[in-house]
Structure 1
Amino acid sequence: NNKPRKKKKKRKTKKNSAGETVEDNDLEDIDSLLERIEDPRLAPQSQGGITADSRPLLYVEHRNLNPENELKRYFGARAVLGDQRPRQRQRQYIRSMWLTAPKNTWPRYSKTGITMQLLDTRRGVQHFTFEHHREYQQVQFKFLDAVESMDPNNIVLLLQMNPYHVDSLLQLSDVCRMQEDQEMARDLIERALYSLECAFHPVFSLTSGTCRLDYRRPENRAFFLALFKHLMFLEKRGCPRTALEFCKLILSLDPENDPLCVLLLIDFLSLRAREYTFLTRLFQEWESHRNLSQLPNFAFSVPLAYFFLSQQEERPELERSQARERAARLIQLALIMFPSVLMPLLDHCSVQPDARVASHPFFGLNAQISQSPALNQLTSLYVGRTHALWKDPAVMAWLEPHVHEVLRTVDAQDALVQEAEHKRKIRYQSAPRNIYRHIILSEMKEATAALPLEVTSQPVMGFDPLPPLDSIVSYNRPER
């Protein structure tokens, strides 16, 4: 995954008006088809055979948003597409989309009353917002009535009349998921994404990393949520690389506020997709202004990424030894900063710690009991989500000596240990709302169990979980 790929020679193709490639030859090598989608000017420049990625960190590649491309890489084109010829694969829809492929089984699309406006451009960054026109607002009011009725059939009826109403699609998808109908749940999310993409402003770009949407505006929330739910389905389907690209897209829409707190997820997807250099680059570029090492997931996942890089035999020995050193330093810092992660992690991996580790108070039960509820949510989320990546015997063999090294540091009463304890006490008083929102959306039982009463005691709506307290409201539901 981190190896530069040789570009294949490309044959010129004719384009039709819909931007779809017309092929004369049946199943030409899929990779060369994909490469035509890419703009060659944006490709990373190769320096002496090593790809130097000079593109922005959150640059999104169109081809990586399509799960079929990832499945083809794993299983080959024929396994994914079968023996159908390209002409047969063309849809009745002419409109070519980036986020999802429209299906023949979907209702015919007609304008919904959602549009997108460019609000302003500041320092090269464009701020957009979705807008609901009057007819869409009327459907939105009916939708809120349907939600309050607590009867999902009312949402089904509403969708029969308005098949591309986004919040109805999100809410019904949640209902289907609870009823174990994963296929339908996924299909409804894809339909919501299609509906929103049809409303894009002509200059709104998914890939530039410079287009922003404000989550405080209710009209924008559906886009964030549909992208998040879509990437969760992609990850479950075994498409972590595609899920990572969607995660980067969500982060690029509001990197400062990160309303769905995808920073708690991006490390896991990077590791699952084996995009180790992306994760280490994110850490290097953002640590100084975002304090990523103060999030347990970055504290543990970044050294794990360096460890995996150090195992890649195709890398030069100097690079590998630097990765080994960084992995060692960072994993020890992580264990000192977040000692409560170790025991639950070993437990999830069915690994019995040795007597010295098991009996030492530093990693013992007190480490769990003494931490604040806010920190407990973060560590529980991390262990629940990523423990499978730590199960690898090679990873455990690497971790063990560092655990013992940390115990030596603790026993020597190193100032670093007291400093970390002090930071834990003052920094994790309570979690911000976006972390609670993320935990609710993640449905990770280890973390949802740790949510505070003020969150669990209020009704949580799938189409708008924990709305921001400083919402920017452009229209209100009429009084009844």
Structure 2
Amino acid sequence: MSARALRKVLNQQQQESSLSTTANINLSPENDSDSSPDSPRPFTNPFDLLNDQDQIQVRDNDSSDDDVSSSSIVINEDNKKNISANVNNNKKSKKKKKNKKKNKEVSSSAGDMGSIDDILGGLSVGGNSSVGRSRVSEKKVENVNGCKTCVLQVDPRFLNAENELRRIFGSKVVSSFEKSNKAGSSRQGRPGRRVSVTHRKTVMVTPSEHWPRWDGSLSMELLEEKNKDRKGCNYFRYVPSATYSLAQRQYEAFQASHDLNGIASVLLHHPYHLDSLTTLADYFKFSGELQMSIDATAKSLYALECAWHPLFNPLNGNVQLKYVHETNQPIFTALFAHMKNMDRRGCHRSALEICKLLLSLDSDDPKGALFCIDYFALRAEEYKWLELFSEEYSSDNSLWLFPNFSFSLAVCRFYLEREEQLKENETKATSSDLMKQALMLHPSVLKKLVAKVPLKEQVWSKIVNHSFFATDDSGSASLDHLINIYVERSYIIWRLPELSNFLKDSALSVIEKMEINRNEAKDWACVRQEAFSSDKNEYSQLMVSEFSDSIPTIPPEHLQNLMVDPRLAQMHNAAAENQENIPVVARAPPREVANRNALAVLFESLLPWADYGPREDDQENGMARDDQD
């Protein structure tokens, strides 16, 4: 109802009340009781509607209409004073009603808040957040104690190298670099209409736009669920399809003939054949095309991740892909190559996460990830995690007995002490004690480090020539192999001045200690012999060159001979020569070896068609036999 219509109705009622003499308005205290909290519907004065029209609109329409219709009021001039008093009383009652509604709203909101607090308190998320966090942390601790590989849980945020590059160089620099690469690739591309392909979102790598669509040639099956020896670990295996098996047979045929063109033709029809991608990645690496090698490795990882089982979640560290299954071996090869590529790009945290993933997939560690995970942790400055890993990871031997962990834990404690992150009441050994212990346990490491880094101060010649550090042999073939791997992998961190001085001071302290007590060297020799008691090299499957940063390259003119089998080219030449009635040479002339790359000659000598002619000794023996005859 508008204000004008309400005012007209009130004027008509005033005129009728002046003519009527029997109109009386009951203003007794009983009417005040209607406005009391006990009454179900309080008395409402229609004059208040003019002043409080905005508040009337907020109210319920039904209740306001009932109040107006039920209050038929006839006003008399003799009762104007009483009406004003009634208006004041109604205003007071209305204020009481408003206060009552406010109190009800406050109480209801308080009740709702109380119920919300109770619910959130039950979920350990609400008001008492410290209790909830403590409960969550207790559950995490229980999970840590229950699962052996929980320390190898992978953080998916750091798996992508582009994210780490953005943190290092800034998002603007990385975005401009990516735009320039896309512009260059679009200029080099073939003219024509480009078809956009929607790729799956993967965790390990980001698929490129020019990659073909995933063909589904691989899948994964669940072999065993929850082994008793390892709690909560599921065992899986990759399963190839019929088309993939056909491509594999073609690849093996071309591999036997060393035909890289044939291997490339396999990828034309089966773009995600893993062995072909691995072969081309190695070829591009040796030829110096590192970006193409990285792209081939990333494409292999994309195919392997697209084939994951719904229950396969390697980020939690509770799944196993045993290396003994031949179909599982490509993922280990691809992850190891991808880890080294990330390290060369300077993405050490990404390399650390990939190394954790590689180590968690098979507890037997077929690729030797345990002997480089400490290096990536130091380069990524994950010092606390490295100490936690050395304490909780289960292995046949204590990790501090391995040469890489003996020295890396000392370096880790050295940086933690510099950052003042160790507590005053902590009873752990100091970095100096750990370094002395590492030098006394593995004294042959020092001489190899000094030669590899290299450390050219005069004091190092005095240290290396000491009788305790002069030997290169540790007495165990396995330990010598692990020492060579550690020196090849981690020598670069010892070029830092603070670490080289730290190593020098510790070595001088060990020399002084050995001169005082010579029997201590024998004690450490007994520990070393007991830890590595095998006479055979138990780690012979791990090549030292696989842990090196240097990449051996072969000139492209020498790699061209590896692309096509020369016997096939000779057959085509023979057919052409027969048409021209030219005699065919049955055997290709021997290749010259002098003034050539030794590594190229080595690879070429492995080919079945390589011919370098008879040896000089054979020629001399043949001439001698002819003379005797």
The TM-score with structure 1 as length reference comes to 0.75
Residue 401 of structure 1: aligned partner: 505
Deviation at 1:190, TM superposition (A): 0.4
CA gap of 1:63–1:445, structure 2 versus 1, over 3 A, is: closer
**Between Structure 1 and Structure 2, how many residues are aligned?**
392
Separation of aligned partners in 2, 1:284 and 1:213: 24
Deviation at 1:294, TM superposition (A): 2.1
Q: In the alignment, does 2:161 pair up with 1:57?
A: no
Identity %: 30
Residue 98 of structure 1: aligned partner: 203
Residue 261 of structure 1: aligned partner: 368
Separation of aligned partners in 2, 1:340 and 1:329: 18
Q: In the alignment, does 2:239 pair up with 1:131?
A: yes
**1 or 2 for the larger relative contact order (CA 8 Å, sep ≥6)?**
1
Q: For 1:213, which of 321, 346, 365 is the aligned residue?
A: 321
Q: For 1:336, which of 440, 446, 467 is the aligned residue?
A: 440
Kept in 2, the 8 Å contact 1:117–1:128? The answer is yes
Separation of aligned partners in 1, 2:358 and 2:476: 29
Separation of aligned partners in 1, 2:422 and 2:356: 29
Counterpart amino acid of residue 57 in structure 1 = V
CA gap of 1:94–1:136, structure 2 versus 1, over 3 A, is: closer
**Deviations, residues 111-149 of structure 1 (Å, cap 9, x unaligned):** 21x110011112311111111233221211111111111
Counterpart amino acid of residue 442 in structure 1 = F
Separation of aligned partners in 2, 1:270 and 1:443: 17
Structure 1: segments with no counterpart, 5+ residues = 1-39, 447-455, 461-480
Q: For 1:431, which of 530, 533, 537 is the aligned residue?
A: 537
CA gap of 1:243–1:291, structure 2 versus 1, over 3 A, is: same
Q: In the alignment, does 2:260 pair up with 1:152?
A: yes
CA gap of 1:125–1:287, structure 2 versus 1, over 3 A, is: closer
Kept in 2, the 8 Å contact 1:262–1:438? The answer is no
Residue 182 of structure 1: aligned partner: 290
Counterpart amino acid of residue 248 in structure 2 = Q
Residue 479 of structure 2: aligned partner: 375
Separation of aligned partners in 1, 2:457 and 2:249: 56
Q: For 2:220, which of 100, 106, 116 is the aligned residue?
A: 116
| SS of residue in 2 equivalent to 1:127 | strand
Separation of aligned partners in 2, 1:293 and 1:178: 36
Residue 70 of structure 1: aligned partner: 164
**Deviations, residues 80-134 of structure 1 (Å, cap 9, x unaligned):** 123999xx9xx8425211111111111232221x110011112311111111233
Q: Which moved more, 1:344-353 or 1:228-237?
A: 344-353
CA gap of 1:72–1:276, structure 2 versus 1, over 3 A, is: same
CA RMSD of aligned residues (A): 3.1
Deviation at 1:193, TM superposition (A): 0.5
Deviation at 1:172, TM superposition (A): 1.1
Residue 305 of structure 1: aligned partner: 412
CA gap of 1:311–1:170, structure 2 versus 1, over 3 A, is: same
Residue 222 of structure 1: aligned partner: 330
**Deviations, residues 385-444 of structure 1 (Å, cap 9, x unaligned):** 2122111111122222221221233223454421322344462522225x5235353356
Q: In the alignment, does 2:386 pair up with 1:282?
A: no
Separation of aligned partners in 1, 2:200 and 2:395: 43
**Deviations, residues 253-308 of structure 1 (Å, cap 9, x unaligned):** 112x1111100110111011111111111112237753212211111111111101
Q: In the alignment, does 2:344 pair up with 1:232?
A: no
Higher helix share: 2
Kept in 1, the 8 Å contact 2:446–2:464? The answer is no
Deviation at 1:376, TM superposition (A): 2.4
Q: Which moved more, 1:332-341 or 1:353-362?
A: 353-362
Counterpart amino acid of residue 64 in structure 1 = F
Kept in 2, the 8 Å contact 1:115–1:199? The answer is yes
Deviation at 1:345, TM superposition (A): 1.3
| SS of residue in 1 equivalent to 2:157 | helix
Residue 380 of structure 2: aligned partner: 273
Kept in 1, the 8 Å contact 2:267–2:276? The answer is yes
Separation of aligned partners in 1, 2:512 and 2:525: 17
| SS of residue in 2 equivalent to 1:402 | helix
Residue 18 of structure 1: aligned partner: none
Q: Which moved more, 1:386-395 or 1:215-224?
A: 386-395
| SS of residue in 2 equivalent to 1:119 | strand
Separation of aligned partners in 2, 1:92 and 1:212: 32
Deviation at 1:63, TM superposition (A): 1.0
Deviation at 1:196, TM superposition (A): 0.8
CA gap of 1:92–1:287, structure 2 versus 1, over 3 A, is: closer
CA gap of 1:359–1:208, structure 2 versus 1, over 3 A, is: closer
| SS of residue in 2 equivalent to 1:171 | helix
Deviation at 1:186, TM superposition (A): 0.5
Counterpart amino acid of residue 398 in structure 1 = F
Q: Which moved more, 1:140-149 or 1:416-425?
A: 416-425
Separation of aligned partners in 1, 2:427 and 2:335: 36
Q: In the alignment, does 2:521 pair up with 1:417?
A: yes
Residue 362 of structure 1: aligned partner: 468
Separation of aligned partners in 2, 1:53 and 1:310: 27
